[in-house]
Each structure stands twice: as C-alpha cells, then as structure tokens.
Amino acid sequence: MISIVLIGSGNVATHLYNAFLNVDAISVTQIGARVLDKVPDADITIIAVSDDAIATVSSKVKNSFVVHTSGSVGMHNLQNNTRKGVFYMLQTFSKDKKVAFSKVPFCLEAENAKDYALLETIAKSIGKKIYSVSSEQRKTLHVAAVFVNNFTNHLYKIGNDICEKNKVPFDILKPLIQETALKVNQLSPEKAQTGPAIRKDQKTIKNHLNLLDTDQQKIYKILTKSIQNGN
Amino acid sequence: MISIVLIGSGNVATHLYNAFLNVDAISVTQIGARVLDKVPDADITIIAVSDDAIATVSSKVKNSFVVHTSGSVGMHNLQNNTRKGVFYMLQTFSKDKKVAFSKVPFCLEAENAKDYALLETIAKSIGKKIYSVSSEQRKTLHVAAVFVNNFTNHLYKIGNDICEKNKVPFDILKPLIQETALKVNQLSPEKAQTGPAIRKDQKTIKNHLNLLDTDQQKIYKILTKSIQNGN
C-alpha cells in the first residue's frame, strides 16, 4: 500500500484525489494548504497549489518525500529539507470536466532512482503516458504549452470575433479547428502548413488585412512573416 | 438526374468527384482546366481551380450555371455570361486523406432561389452541414479560417521547435493540442482561456521570454498583450 497526502484544493488536487480513490494499492488523504500543522505522515506528499505558494507550503512539510505538480517551477524550488520530486501532468484541467488520465502525459522527476520508481508506479496506477522530464525540459515544455494551448485558444477567439462581427456562425469553423488539431498526429506541423502565407499569395494577404481591425492586423502580419521565414 | 461538370484536377476537384460518383441521382464528369473548348453541357458546372485562374476559366465556360469553390473569391468574380454561384467547403483537403464530407460545412451562394435549391440538393447528397453564406461573409470566414487553421498550425510548429531544441518529445504536447481544440465545442474560446497571460502572471511571462529566441519572443509578446487587452 502506498500512502499519499495531497495538499491543495484546486482542480489538479481534486481530480488527482478522485483518481487515486479508485486505486486499491493507494491510500490517499487530501488536505487544504491552510492546515499544514497537521500533515499526516505518508510515503509521498504531493503539493498541488499555485506556483507562488509552492516554496512556502513545502517549507512547512516535514514528510520524507515531497513533490509538486507545476510545469514552471523547478524541483529545487521545493523548500522541504527532505527528498524532492515533480509530478507534472501536461493537460488543462477544468473544474466540471472529467479527466481522461489515460491520455494525460505524466512528466516525472526525482533526485534518485528509487523515488523516481515510486512516482512511476503512482503515475501508472492512474495513467499510461509516462515521461522522465528534467526541470529544465519541463520549463521549456511549459512555454511550448502556452503556444499550443493559450495562444491557439486566443486565435480561436479572434476567429470567433470575426464571425460575430460579420454575423456568420462560428460553428462553421469548428470542424476545421478539429481537423487542424488532428493533423499533428499524422504530419509534422511544418509539413502540414497551407494557406496564403506559405504560398506567398500577397493578393489574398492584402485582401485579408483589409477585413481586420488594427490589433488583428498586427497578429496577422507577424504570424504571416514568421511562416514565410520558416521560423 | 443532376448532371455535374467538375473543372480542375486538384484536391478539391478530385475529392468532390469521388464523392459524387457514389450518388445515384448525380452524373459527374471531371475535366482538366486545359480542355475548356470541350466542356460538356451540364445542369451545373463547378470550377475547382486556383483562385487566380477562376476568372479566366469561367470566362470560357458557356454552360448555363457556373459556380466556383473558393473561400476568398466573390461570386461576381466569375466571368461567365450565364448564372453564377458558389459551392465552398470550409475544410482542409489533403491529397491522401479521405474527406469525411458529413462533417464538412458547405457554404452556398446563388443569384436566385432555384439555383440555391440546386446547390443545396447537391450538398445534401454528400454532406450534412449546409449554410447560406454571402460573398462578403465568405471572405471574412476565410480570414477567420487562416487564424484557426494556418496560424494555429504555425503555433504547433513553434511548440515542436521548442521541444526539438530542448530534446523533449513533441508527443507530450499532442493530447493538450487535441483537448484545446475539443474545448471550443463546449465553451467559448473567450471563457476557455487560461495561462499566464490572462492571469497577468508577469513572473512566469518573464521566465518564458528568457527561454525563447527573438522571433518567438515577438509572437509571445504580441499574443500575450492581445489576450490581456481582451482583443
């Protein structure tokens, strides 16, 4: 039996807690970050709090093995005096949406092989995709995730804005959004590129710019240039 | 029986031709754009050639009802002397990938109700999602499609570049890419936004910028600013 203490009350902590509850070989306790004077002993203590709170929370935990769940905080930012590690899941977690853990990539890091093996056992108990990722690699993954998640979602928003302004249903674009995302499973994004930028179709580019507002034009121009430069 | 002549030999023409072949109520002939002196008579002539060639090709067609398949060319750019229309499918077509026409949005336009009804009958024979879209609306849809398809794909490429440079598998990001795309079916992109930009998390933004090259920084900054301004 592996004992886990989960510190935190946000989406990540709650989804993880519910997943661990279904694993026979794991006993799990979830506590809020404000009751740190009463942390029960455990094989592993998982701190799932906001990035800014990780140092403070971890400094108060006396348990032997402490990990955090952040994409952008280094393992050594943990301030416990015992063993450290990272249990990062690269996926967006929404409050009301069930998480398909079998599809979630687990990015694991520990100071020694035995601790890494424990993290791997725990990850495999709820998931399938396990990766060994160093703190440096994780930080760059987190930036890359901002591009393919936050920034991509913002481009969807601009698409939505353009549709609303011109009274066409955004629904028309949704199959294209899905198809574009599915394509990366078959083709590298570089090879999948189509459209006026890569074709250097200046006439269409000029027509497009005339239909956009100033902020949209700036984004259109910089991304078109980046595509054309092969950046 | 509806008779269709398809002019063109690219992806759109070929995928359409194969789809129409399976419809009992349609007889279809595909011809290349270079044999325009021998265009057979038909109820509808669909010109599926590059945007630049539409005017020239259409000027040589004598058939009674001529449509093009372009997202960015107006209906009245057709140069035939007879009736005009548009049969635009908003989806990316790849040479080797089967098209799921049931998921493709058909954006239709014609000069009169009878021609529109014919376009609708033809679209419904191979697809399910039919929209009446004017030339002006179609042009703005086409710009919006550049944002959610070409530009989004370029952000995937940047994500891939960051992964390659730091020797982490791009595969780790693929579930996030799919999840981000699926989210628009449940939540508006505006409401779905997460990450350091919308949180105004300047510390993380600064750390991210330090990990990027100059061109990536420019794109990171402009998109972060646009998210924060609610543009």
* Shortest Cα distance, chain B CAs vs residue A116, angstroms: 18
Residue B38 has pLDDT above 90, yes or no: no
Q: How many CB atoms lie within 10 A of CB A21?
A: 11
**B224 with B167, same domain?**
yes
> Are B108 and B85 contacting, i.e. CB atoms less than 8 angstroms apart?
yes
ipTM given for this complex? 0.90
Domain count, chain B: 2
Q: Does B77 touch chain A (CB under 8 A)?
A: no
Q: Say what the pLDDT of residue A38 is.
A: 85
User: Which pTM was predicted?
Assistant: 0.90
Residues B112 and B7 in one domain: yes
For B223, the closest of A52, A219, A227 (CB atoms) is A219
pLDDT for B187 equals 92
- Token pair belonging to B98: 């089967």
CATH number at residue A145: 1.10.1040.20
pLDDT value of residue A32: 92
Question: Domain ends where: A133, A154, A189?
Answer: A133
Q: Which domain holds residue A107?
A: 2-133
B2/chain A closest Cα distance in angstroms: 27
What are the helix (H) ranges across chain B? 11-21, 54-59, 113-126, 135-145, 152-165, 174-183, 189-192, 196-199, 202-210, 214-228
CATH number reported for the structural domain that contains residue A82 in this entry: 3.40.50.720
Say yes or no: B175 contacts chain A, CB-CB below 8 A.
yes
Q: What percent of chain B has pLDDT over 70?
A: 100
Claim to verify: residue B113 and residue B188 sit in the same structural domain: no
Checking if the pLDDT of B101 tops 90, the result is: yes
Same structural domain, A169 and A95: no
- On the question of pLDDT at A36 being above 90, the answer is no
State mean pLDDT over A39-50: 96
B6 and B115 assigned to the same domain: yes
Residue B36 pLDDT grade (very low, low, confident, very high; cuts 50, 70, 90) = confident
Residue percentage of chain A with pLDDT more than 70 = 100
Edge-to-edge strands of the sheet including B44-47?
B26-31, B2-7, B44-47, B65-68, B83-89, B105-110, B129-132
Residue A44: pLDDT band with limits 50, 70, 90: very high
Q: Are residues B209 and B101 in the same domain?
A: no
**Is the pLDDT at B231 greater than 80, yes or no?**
no
Is B111 found in the same domain as B12? yes
Across all residues in chain A, what is the average pLDDT? 95
Residue A35: what pLDDT? 81
Residue tagged 């005017």 (tokens): B55
Q: What pLDDT is attached to residue A92? A: 79
Q: Among residues B44, B163, B199, B189, which one has the least CA distance to residue B110?
A: B44
Say yes or no: A212 contacts chain B, CB-CB below 8 A.
yes
Q: How confident is the model at residue B149 (pLDDT cuts 50, 70, 90)?
A: very high
> Do A120 and A148 share a domain, yes or no?
no
pLDDT tier, B29 (very low <50, low <70, confident <90, very high otherwise): very high
Which of A61-75, A83-97, B156-170 is predicted with the least confidence, judged by mean pLDDT? A83-97
Residues A195 and A117 grouped into a single domain = no
Q: Please, which pLDDT band fits residue A230 given cuts at 50, 70 and 90?
A: confident
Q: Is the Cβ pair A140, B222 closer than 8 Å?
A: no
Q: Which residues of A touch B157 (CB under 8 A)?
A: 188-190, 193
Residues β-bridged to residue A106? A89, A130
Question: Residue A93: its pLDDT value, please?
Answer: 77
Q: Same domain, yes or no, for A34 and A121?
A: yes
Q: What is the gyration radius of the CA atoms in chain B, in angstroms?
A: 22
- Helix crossing, A135-145 with B202-210: angle to 10°? 110
Q: What is the average per-residue pLDDT within A91-113?
A: 89
Question: B189 CB contacts (<8 Å, ≥6 apart)?
Answer: A153, A154, A156, A157, A159, A160
Given A93, A112, A133, which residue is the final one in a domain?
A133
Give the separation between CA A61 and CA A79, rounded to whole angstroms. 9
B35 pLDDT more than 90? no
Q: Which of residues 14-73 of B touch A (CB under 8 A)?
A: 51-52, 72
Return the structure tokens found at A1: 């039996």
Q: Are residues B107 and B149 in the same domain?
A: no
If asked whether residues A184 and A220 sit together in one domain, one would say yes
> Which among A100, A133, A166 is the end of a domain?
A133
Band of the pLDDT at B169, cuts 50, 70, 90?
A: very high
- Check whether B37 has a pLDDT greater than 90: no
Residue A182, pLDDT above cutoff 80: yes
